[in-house]
Amino acid sequence: MRVLLVGGGGREHAIGEALVRGGAELYVVSKHKNPGLARLAKGYGLAKETDIEKVLEYAEKFGVELAFIGPEAPLERGIVDVLEENGIPAVGPSREAAKLETDKAFARAFMERNEIPGRKVFRVFTDVSEMRSWVDEFGRPVVVKPIGLTGGKGVKVVGYQLRDNEEAKAYAEELIRRDGRVLIEERTDGVEFTLQVFSDGKRILPMPLVQDYPHAYEGDEGPITGGMGSYSCSNGLLPFVTREDYEKALETLKATVEAMRKEGTPYKGILYGQFMLSKDGPVLIEYNARFGDPEAINVLPLLRTSLLEIAEGIVDGNLRKAEFEGKATVVKYLAPKGYPTNPVKGVKVEVNEKAVEEAGARLYYASIDENLTLLGSRAIAVVGIADNLEEAERIAQRAIPHIKGELFYRRDVGTRESVEKRIELMKEFGKEFEPNPC
C-alpha cells in the first residue's frame, strides 16, 4: 500500500522505518530532505508540512491510499480533514479533535466537563485584574501556559522558570496582552512520564511508558528543549511508576477517547499523555495529538505488529493489536552546539553509519539535510536496545563517537544515576513504593 508520511524529523524517520518494515510503500513530504527517509521513500516532496494544498498535491501525484501525519502543526491546520475530504484516509486527529493539543483551554475544560481522572485546578483569564486577584487568592504555586502551540517553549512554572507567584502574574499579564488569553493551573509536584496510545476513535492500545529529558544540559539544567533523549524499560513501566499508577494513566486516556467520541469529535491517531506522577497518582500535564519526539524513537523499533496494519486499523475504526518487544531502550539526541537558543547552523557533520551499526545502535536523522548540514534543531538520534537499561545506555553511548561535528548531547540520559535521582525525587515528594526493575 502507498502511504504518505508528512514530516521529516527523527520521529518521522522512526515512523517511516516502521511503516516500511510493516509492508508500506513510503512517500514523504517535509520541508527538508531527511537523509534516512530519502533512502526509505519511493518519492519525496519538499514542502512545508503546514502547506496543506501542497501536501495534497503531492499525495495525489504519488497516488497514496493512506497518510500518516507526524507533527502537530499541520493537524492544527486541519490536514486530516482536507485529506479525508479528498478521499485519502489519514492517521491523525481532525482539526477539532487535535484541539486536545492545540488549544490548552479546550483540553482543560473538556477534562472538567467529562470528569476525566487526572485533572488539575485551572482558570482561563482574559482580564488582567481578575487574573491577579485569583492568583493571590489561590495562594499556592502556579503554572502559566499560553493557550496555543508553543513548540515546547512558553510554559513557565513557579519554582523553576518563575521565582514566585508575583513573577507568574507578570508573565500571565504579558500573555494576556499578547494573546488575549492565558491558562493558569495549580503546580503539581512529582516526576514526569509519557504514555502514548494508538486510538481508532473507540478503542486504545498502549505503548511502553517512556521518560523524556527535556532540559538541554546534564543534571536537568538549562533551557527546555523538544527532548534531549529518553528511555524505556523492558516491562513497559518505569522504575518509579507502579502498575497501579500506569493503570490510572491509561484510564485517563481511555476516558478521554470515550468522551471525545460522545462529544461527536472522535479521536483517531496517536494520543500522547504527558503525566506528572504526584504522590497521589498521575496528573495529566498535557495531551499531545501525535507521537512524541524522541519518544517515538523508543517505542517504534520495538513494535512487533505491522505499523501499516495499525494505521489501517486506526482509520477503519478497527484497531486490533499492537505488540512490543520486551526490551529496554535509550535514545540520545545530538543537537547543534548552542541549541535551543542559538544553534550552530549550516555546517556539516560526519556520520560513520557502519560504525554506529557495528556498535549495535540504530541511528535516526532529524534536523539535518541530505548532505549532512545542520539545520538548527536536534540533528541525529542514536538508540540502544537491550534486555536492560544499563546495556541499552552503553550501546547508545558507544555509537556517539562515530558522529562528529559541532554537536552536543547529554551523557546522563538513561544512566543508572539519573534514574536513581528520579526515584529519590519521587520518595522526597512523599510517595511510598518499591522501584520496578528496568
Residues in the chain: 438
Q: How far apart are CA 157 and CA 168, in angstroms?
A: 8
Rule CB under 6 A: which of 219-238 touch ligand GLY?
226-227
Give the shortest CB-404-to-ligand GLY separation in angstroms: 26
- Residue 92 vs 227, nearer CB to ligand GLY: 227
Give the shortest CB-38-to-ligand GLY separation in angstroms: 23
- Residue 35 vs 226, nearer CB to ligand GLY: 226
- Residue 199 vs 211, nearer CB to ligand GLY: 211
- Examine residue 393 and tell whether it contacts ligand GLY (CB under 6 A): no
- Residue 92 vs 292, nearer CB to ligand GLY: 292
Return the amino acid letter for 333.
Answer: Y
Contact between 142 and 187 (Cβ < 8 Å): yes
Give the shortest CB-290-to-ligand GLY separation in angstroms: 8
- Residue 288 vs 367, nearer CB to ligand GLY: 288
Phi (first) and psi of residue 216, to 5 degrees: -70, -35
- Residue 22 vs 292, nearer CB to ligand GLY: 292
Q: Which three cell numbers stand for residue 375?
A: 539545520
Give the shortest CB-199-to-ligand GLY separation in angstroms: 17
Max CA pair span of the chain: 61
- Residue 48 vs 153, nearer CB to ligand GLY: 153
- Residue 267 vs 272, nearer CB to ligand GLY: 272
Phi (first) and psi of residue 364, to 5 degrees: -130, 130
Give the shortest CB-275-to-ligand GLY separation in angstroms: 12
* Phi-psi sector, 411: left (phi>0), alpha (psi -120 to 50), beta: alpha
Contact between 339 and 374 (Cβ < 8 Å): no
x/- mask, ligand GLY, residues 255-294, rule CB under 6 A, reads ---------------------------------x---xx-
Q: Is the peptide bond before 340 cis (omega within 30 degrees of 0)?
A: yes
x/- mask, ligand GLY, residues 81-120, rule CB under 6 A, reads ----------------------------------------
Q: How far apart are CA 227 and CA 243, in angstroms?
A: 25
Contact between 330 and 341 (Cβ < 8 Å): no
Contact between 203 and 179 (Cβ < 8 Å): no
Strand partners, 3: 26, 66
Give the shortest CB-163-to-ligand GLY separation in angstroms: 25
Give the shortest CB-212-to-ligand GLY separation in angstroms: 5
- Residue 135 vs 241, nearer CB to ligand GLY: 241
E strands along 158-309, which residues? 182-186, 191-200, 204-206, 211-212, 215-217, 221-224, 229-232, 268-278, 281-288
Return the amino acid letter for 136.
Answer: D
Interstrand relation of 221-224 and 204-206 (parallel, antiparallel or unpaired) = unpaired
Rule CB under 6 A: which of 203-222 touch ligand GLY?
212
Give the shortest CB-68-to-ligand GLY separation in angstroms: 16
Helix boundaries (H) for 263-373: 295-299, 307-316, 353-358
- Is 24 strand, coil or helix? coil
Q: Which residues bind ligand GLY (CB under 6 A)?
A: 212, 226-227, 288, 292-293, 295
